[in-house]
Amino acid sequence: MPLIYPGDNLAEMLLASMQSARITLEDSDILVVTQKIVSKAEGRLVNLETVTPSKESLELANRSEKDPRLVELILRESNEVLRVRAGTIIVEHRLGFVCASAGIDHSNVHGTEGNSEYWVLLLPEDPDHSALEIRRKIKVATGNRIGVMIIDSHGRAWRQGTIGTAIGISGLPAVVDQRGWQDLFGYRLKITLVAAADELAAAASLVMGEAAEGIPAVHVRGFPYPLREGSLKELIRSKETDLFR
Amino acid sequence: MPLIYPGDNLAEMLLASMQSARITLEDSDILVVTQKIVSKAEGRLVNLETVTPSKESLELANRSEKDPRLVELILRESNEVLRVRAGTIIVEHRLGFVCASAGIDHSNVHGTEGNSEYWVLLLPEDPDHSALEIRRKIKVATGNRIGVMIIDSHGRAWRQGTIGTAIGISGLPAVVDQRGWQDLFGYRLKITLVAAADELAAAASLVMGEAAEGIPAVHVRGFPYPLREGSLKELIRSKETDLFR
């Protein structure tokens, strides 16, 4: 894939990239795309020099030892701040999931002008919709009914290290109901929900790598569950059922 | 793979299974094995009728609406109970990770005698060691230096659904250090830790499926990071740095 600039048509670029890799799309294939190129194409770059921190941001910047202008953006992109430590702000993103720094990224970000140190990249406005747009354009161009997923790298509670995680989904199940076991007395059927989209996100992330030379999109064939409409919402645990908020 | 019984030699059975699938192992391949067959081979089946719940277990069974004998096993397998709700007990397992019901499983469990409803399966005693044993035996049999990983399905804070997660590791990195970005002022180098083993666990879990007819082992070629000694410990976030305990 070439470098991505605001306004780029990602669907076209993904198709061109697959063509040069001699990949022919088939129905039920899935394209997994990193958030970074979607955000760049959607012009979600912000120059920190244009940001004026609020009083709340200045206070939180002090507690977190982060740039107040970055903190201002984090707050604008969040529903709620969950935890703060030096170097760390964990929030509920306005899209509903929990992540660090509202998913705002400095790495591999080059702005359109000025010092690249001051540019940061926000998550797509509506990643489910971004995925749907790519899917629709590919349907028009090729006739193929595929799934499209947008992923980011998330930290976890309890465990070290980040893993690829779904943040936008169109045309594939986010979670899959599996018939579970009956309990000891045979009367209560347990349901196992498998987060199939997150498993695929982690798999794609492994292939993509994290470094500057990373691969921004992965073509998937043989996803083991039937494709259907799906959305990020399926993966968000409600506050009420979340024992670790 | 055939059904697994206590005392079975998993390494031999995995090799036979690969042979019939015409897979020839190469150096740097990885075998990902589900916890269930490792636990079965290691005789980790327990008949609940042999378990006498303590007073503490009876009390916790009441709060969680679970079988007191199962609760007794959960407590024996745990360092600490973190959360309790009807139908749910979240613990720090004695192996250090956080999971529901100490990973004790009813599904697809058939005991050696009596009513199968009363048999449950504990996690392997030491999954890193179990992985090492399989790896050693395969090295002896084939000469190949491979990685072996044992996985289970874990729920997560914040997100719906389970994903495949590493619980035992030998011969591959659990986390991978990635050179990160310098901060806005260029003086602080951020380090990104990628939980490569968990990403691979999720990928393998997707291939395995969760249902009774699931595939118990996955052969991996092309893991993108160099193999080295690794262990579960790398993936466990210390209590002190865990903001969600």
DSSP string, B52-107: ---HHHHHHHHHHT--HHHHHHHHHTEEEEEEEETTEEEEEETTS-EEEGGG-B-T
Tally of domains in chain A: 2
Any domain includes A182: yes
Q: Are B167 and B143 in contact (CB under 8 A)?
A: no
A75: domain CATH number is 3.90.1660.10
Mean pLDDT along residues B14-32: 96
Claim to verify: residue A82 and residue A4 sit in the same structural domain? no
Q: Chain A contacts of B234, Cβ < 8 Å?
A: 160-161
Beta-carbon contacts of residue B188 (< 8 Å; ≥ 6 apart): B182
Q: What is the dihedral of CA A225, A34, B234, B8, to 10 degrees?
A: 20
Q: One-letter amino acid identity for B14?
A: L
Q: Is A243 part of any domain?
A: no
- Tell me whether residue B241 is in a domain: no
Domain span at residue B216 reads 7-42+123-236
Tell me how close the Cα of A189 comes to any Cα of chain B, in angstroms: 11
pTM summary value: 0.94
Tell me how far apart the alpha carbons of residues A244 and B66 are, in angstroms, rounded to a whole number. Answer: 21
Residues B101 and B152 in one domain: no
CA distance A206 to chain B (A): 6
pLDDT score for B186: 46
Residues A81 and A191 both lie in one domain? no
Among chain B residues, CA nearest to A109: B181
Name residue B107's amino acid: S
Residues from chain B that touch A106, judged by Cβ atoms under 8 A, are: 181, 183-184
* 165-194 of B, contacting A, C-beta below 8 A: 165, 174-176, 178-181, 183-186, 192-194
* Radius of gyration of the CA atoms of chain B, in A: 19
pLDDT greater than 90 at residue B141: yes
C-alpha dihedral, B133 to B136 to B141 to B144, nearest 10°:
130
pLDDT tier for residue A240 given thresholds of 50, 70 and 90: confident
Instruction: State the DSSP string of chain A.
Output: -----TT--HHHHHHHHHHHTTPPP-TT-EEEEEHHHHHHHTT-EEEGGG----HHHHHHHHHHTS-HHHHHHHHHTEEEEEEEETTEEEEEETTS-EEEGGG-B-TT---SSS-GGGEEEPPPS-HHHHHHHHHHHHHHHH----EEEEEEEE--SSBSSBEEEEEEEESS-SSEEEEEEE-TTS--EEEEEE-HHHHHHHHHHHHH-SSTT--SEEEE---SS------GGGGBPPGGG-TT-
- Let me know if residue A111 belongs to a domain: yes
Percentage of chain A beyond pLDDT 90 is: 81
Q: Are residues A78 and A99 in the same domain?
A: yes
Flag whether pLDDT at A182 surpasses 60: no
What is the structure's pLDDT at B209?
A: 81
Q: Are residues A115 and A144 located together in one domain of the fold? A: no
- pLDDT tens readout for residues B97-121: 999 999 998 765 666 566 666 889 9
**Cβ atoms within 10 Å of B205's Cβ, excluding its own:** 28
CATH number for position B190: 3.30.1330.100
pLDDT grade, residue A178 (50/70/90)? confident
Residues of chain B contacting residue A211, judged by C-beta atoms under 8 Å apart? 178-179
Q: Are residues B204 and B184 in the same domain?
A: yes
Whether residue B242 lies inside any domain: the answer is no
In a domain, B244, yes or no: no
- Note whether residue A97 is domain-resident: yes
For the residues B173-181, what does the mean pLDDT come to? 79
The two tokens of residue B85 are 């709700």
Closest-CA distance of chain B to residue A132, Å: 22
Distance CA A33, CA A220 (A): 11
Determine the Cα–Cα distance for residues B67 and B72; give it in Å rounded to an integer. 9
- Tokens 């500057």 correspond to A212
My answer on whether B99 and B200 are in the same domain is no
Query: Are A62 and A118 in a shared domain?
Result: yes
**Closest C-alpha among A218, A226, A221, A152 to residue A196:** A226
Helix (H, G, I), strand (E, B) or coil at B190: strand
Q: Cβ A242–B157 below 8 Å, yes or no? A: yes
Q: Can you give the pLDDT at residue B106?
A: 74
Please tell me whether residues B19 and B128 are part of one structural domain. yes
A56-74 confidence digits (pLDDT tens): 999 999 999 999 999 999 9
What average pLDDT does the segment B127-155 reach?
97
The confidence score (pLDDT) of residue B157 equals 94
Distance CA A110, CA A115 (A): 8
Clarify whether residues B186 and B97 are in a common domain: no
- Could you tell me if A169 and A55 lie in one domain? no
Q: Domain boundary residue among A122, A137, A168?
A: A122
Q: Of A122, A154, A175, which residue constitutes the final position of a domain?
A: A122
In a domain, A194, yes or no: yes
B25 plus B141 within the same structural domain: yes
Domain boundary among B83, B102, B122: B122
CB-based contact B101:B93 (threshold 8 Å): no
Angle at CA of residue A125, ends A120 and A131, nearest 5°: 110
Residues A232-244 as b or e (16 or more Cβ within 10 Å = b): bebbbbeeeebeb
Inspect the interface and report whether the beta carbons of B202 and A202 lie closer than 8 Å. Answer: yes
Residue B162 at interface with chain A, using a CB cutoff of 8 Å: yes
CA–centroid distance for B241 within its chain? 22
Q: Which two tokens stand for residue A100?
A: 């660090």
